[in-house]
Amino acid sequence: MLRIIICILVLGALGWAGFFNRQQPLSWSDNERATIASLRLADEKTLLQNVIHTGNTVWDDVAAAKLGQQLFFDNQLSKNQAVSCATCHQPSEGFADPQALSIGISTTKRHSPSLLGAAFSPWFFWDGRADSLWAQALGPLEDPAEHGANRLQLAKLIATKYKPQYQAIFGPISDFNHLASHATPLSDNPLWRNNWQRMSVTDQDAVNQVFANIGKSLAAYQSRLIPSPSRFDKFAAQLLTQGSSDILNRTEQQGLKLFISEEKGQCIRCHNGPFLTNNDFQVTGIKDPRLPLGSGRLEGITIALNSEFNCRSPYSSTQDKDTECLELDYAKSSGDELNFAFKVPTLRNISQTAPYMHNGSFDNLQQVLHFYTRAKSQYSDTDVESKRDTSTLSKQSVTHLDIEPLALASEQLIQLEAFLNTLTSPINLDDTWLKKPN
């Protein structure tokens, strides 16, 4: 009987201790506070000073942003007059797409990432095949699975529908009436390619300049897509100024501790800075049977280096290409670690941008966190051997991983997810910017 009473007393004491611990505010070390400070969104003025606007002198021009907004929502920038940028980057979905693979002219190869905070990145697309936001905006326009348009078609659209706005920003524009209706050097359509080849170099240059300016206008609009401070940012501000804060509950704060822990959550290794991304490329081992070996950063950097619209392009308004194109000039372009390496996405508004990963293969955050807990490549030796006759890649190039198992308990995964949900906030723009203008 005495043993039973003692057990009851012990269990009661443990229960009260657990309850007491749950109510106590968490303590934060100086290192943790410094890390939390590094994740906060700065004030708007400071943020804008960090926008990466390589080759685009109109990135902060309001008129260019308004033209970019019109273009962003205009279905006429597509082959079938039914696809716009907003088709795959929906404002109500954090400027991402709720489908695993977006559907434009046809089904795309990858999931559409969020555009929030895109202007603070030096590389674009999951594989980094564009080195500026304006160059990124051009890719989907001529991609046969996305807009499926061609640059002459788009130049003529600008010269008719948007001529006054365009000329106010960029100067005079030709009507291009002396040219065929459709032409581009990048198409499987032989008629479009032949039409381009028949054009004079002067006409090709004029069309390319208008095409580039379309991208720069779109970039001026997208540069404004910045989230406002989230509950996390408000918690961080109060913690750093007052020493404590209850804006986040205990579970969310425990998730934050895990997130910034180099030993436990390890998220901070890749998801750092105010937009929770290092903008680098990592191999996570996510299998995508539609993509050939060598996809990812290895392919992307090759495309970027050879792009006619990169930093060193004549259509880039970079003033000093020897100092402003260093990101492109010194980018790593070979190595096993680039095979199947994809860009680390922002975690801002992550609760709004499901599904996740470059192929949209995870429906929710629980699946993502469970994957990182195991951190096992989805590729096998069989996958490698089946490609060996058509690829020079080594077995190591597929089995290389940049992540390691976290081995977190179920409760810790719940805490991490709770913290990630605190990163959601409205876009720091008037609602009139978030829809098709009248």
- Mark whether 215 and 263 lie in a shared domain: no
| Alpha carbon distance 414, 421 (integer Å) | 11
Residue 266, token pair as written in the block: 């390890």
| Alpha carbon distance 56, 44 (integer Å) | 20
**What is the phi/psi pair of residue 240, to 5°?**
-75, -25
Enter the pTM of the model.
0.90
Average pLDDT over residues 259-287: 93
- Mark whether 217 and 243 lie in a shared domain: no
Q: CB under 8 Å to 222, separation ≥6 — which residues?
A: 68, 72, 115, 118, 119, 133, 137
**Domain total for the chain?**
2
The alpha carbon of residue 56 and the mean position of all alpha carbons in its chain are separated, in whole angstroms, by: 19
Write the pLDDT tens digit of every residue in 279-320: 999 999 887 766 666 689 999 999 999 999 999 999 999 888
The total of other beta-carbon atoms located within 10 Å of residue 246's CB is: 11
Which among 222, 252, 270 is the end of a domain? 222
Note the pLDDT of residue 25.
Answer: 74
- Mark whether 119 and 254 lie in a shared domain: no
Q: 20 in a domain, yes or no?
A: no
Q: 98 in a domain, yes or no?
A: yes
- Mark whether 297 and 196 lie in a shared domain: no
pLDDT, the chain, mean: 90
- Mark whether 210 and 269 lie in a shared domain: no
Q: 3 in a domain, yes or no?
A: no
| Alpha carbon distance 119, 123 (integer Å) | 10
**What is the phi/psi pair of residue 192, to 5°?**
-65, -40
Q: CB under 8 Å to 46, separation ≥6 — which residues?
A: none
Phi-psi region of 245 (alpha: psi -120 to 50; beta: other; left: phi over 0): beta
Which among 222, 242, 274 is the end of a domain? 222
- Mark whether 186 and 66 lie in a shared domain: yes
- Mark whether 190 and 290 lie in a shared domain: no
Which among 222, 237, 253 is the end of a domain? 222
- Mark whether 41 and 138 lie in a shared domain: no
Note the pLDDT of residue 395.
Answer: 42
Q: Are 88 and 75 in contact (CB under 8 A)?
A: no
Q: 374 in a domain, yes or no?
A: yes
Q: Are 93 and 352 in contact (CB under 8 A)?
A: yes
**Alpha helix segments (H runs only) across 250-351:** 250-260, 297-306, 321-324, 326-329
Q: What is the CATH number of the domain that holds 259?
A: 1.10.760.10
- Mark whether 121 and 216 lie in a shared domain: yes
Q: 26 in a domain, yes or no?
A: no
Q: 408 in a domain, yes or no?
A: yes
Q: 27 in a domain, yes or no?
A: no
- Mark whether 195 and 246 lie in a shared domain: no
- Mark whether 142 and 244 lie in a shared domain: no
Residue 191, token pair as written in the block: 């008629």
**Cis amide linkage into residue 292, ω under 30° from 0:** no
Write the pLDDT tens digit of every residue in 26-59: 999 999 999 999 999 988 888 888 999 999 999 9
> Closest by alpha carbon to 127, among 310, 273, 339?
339
Q: Are 214 and 207 in contact (CB under 8 A)?
A: no
- Mark whether 216 and 320 lie in a shared domain: no
Which structural domain, as residue segments, surrounds residue 236? 32-45+228-434
